[in-house]
Amino acid sequence: MAFFKKFREAQRPRCTALVAAAGSSTRMGGINKLLQPLDGTPVLIRTLTALQQARRVDEIVVAAREEDLVEISRLCRTYGISKCAKVVRGGESRAHSVLLAALEAREDAELLAVQDGARPLVTPELIDAVAEAAARTGAAAPAVPVKDTVKTVRGDGTVAETLNRDILRAVQTPQIFESSLLKAALQAAVEGGIPVTDDCSAVERLGKRVYLVEGDEENLKITTPVDLLLAEAILERREDPV
């Protein structure tokens, strides 16, 4: 049994996680949200710990602001994030930052997993599930149904259209892709100056289908101070379930 487990492990594609951690945190009042404590542990470290524990992640490369490079490297050593091979300077945009991290991934990485540094409640189980889907399809991401009614608006603020939320999904991270596909997609977006809201959209521009797997409602992104309060409450419930 142990032999077959080792054999399957040897056959699976190597995966490098690229962590986007170079944002400006403008909606947090300029405070670096990734270094803010979440139940006593920095937000970014909680994200990295999930990647550290994921079976299908072999390496981590973090793209960060230049002023945070030393601090993030120190935190990785302090919290035992041994999979973190490099902390590199981010670029002029999110896509540029992820591309710079991708270029630093190990040469044998067949899959690249893009993870928001500000999603500290992601679980190792979700990461592994998306990686398994990406190994089969070449491009996969987690998503959850949209709860609110979504409308498009005109320039004057009036409603243009009400969208059918039954076919809408909110996409989360990690978004995991075949290595050369993601690099080509990001390169095209950066060179063309095309703003992409996530890595799926960059890949979709090349005509590649992205397969969605069931996400996690608790896998929220820390964007505003309210999100920190929600994350604290979720962690408290996880640690002391009723």
Q: How many angstroms separate the CA atoms of 73 and 26, rounded?
A: 23
Residue 31: what pLDDT? 79
User: Taking the domain 2-141+171-239, which CATH number applies?
Assistant: 3.90.550.10
Residue 7: what pLDDT? 53
Question: How much is the average pLDDT of 167-190?
Answer: 97
Q: What is the DSSP string of 133-199?
A: HHHHHSEEEEEEE--S--EEE-TTS-EEEE--GGG-EEE-S-EEEEHHHHHHHHHHHHHTT---SSH
Query: Burial letters for 71-106: b for 16+ Cβ neighbours within 10 Å, e otherwise?
Result: bbbebbeebebebbbebbebbebbbbbbbbbbebbe
- 45 band by pLDDT with thresholds 50, 70 and 90: very high
Query: Structural domain boundaries of the chain?
Result: 2-141+171-239
Pick the closest to residue 182 from 20, 9, 49, 10 (CA basis). Answer: 20
On average, the pLDDT of the chain sits at 94
pLDDT in tens, 82-92: 999 999 999 99
- CB–CB of 120/39 below 8 Å? no
Q: How many angstroms separate the CA atoms of 58 and 109, rounded?
A: 9
Angle between helices 43-53 and 69-78 (to 10 degrees): 50
Q: What percent of the chain has pLDDT over 70?
A: 93
Q: How many angstroms separate the CA atoms of 52 and 29, rounded?
A: 30
Pick the closest to residue 122 from 20, 14, 5, 31 (CA basis). Answer: 20
What sign results for the dihedral spanned by CA atoms 53, 60, 10, 138?
A: positive
pLDDT in tens, 25-44: 666 666 789 999 999 999 99
pLDDT in tens, 125-149: 999 999 999 999 999 999 999 999 9
Look at phi and psi of residue 105 and say left if phi exceeds 0, alpha if psi is from -120 to 50, else beta: beta
- Tokens in use for 130? 């998306």
Indicate the pTM of the whole model. 0.92
Residue 240: what pLDDT? 75
Residue 21: what pLDDT? 96
Look at residue 8 and tell me whether its pLDDT is greater than 70.
Answer: no
pLDDT in tens, 160-173: 999 999 999 999 99
Residue type, position 80, single letter: G
Terminal alpha carbon distance of the chain: 37
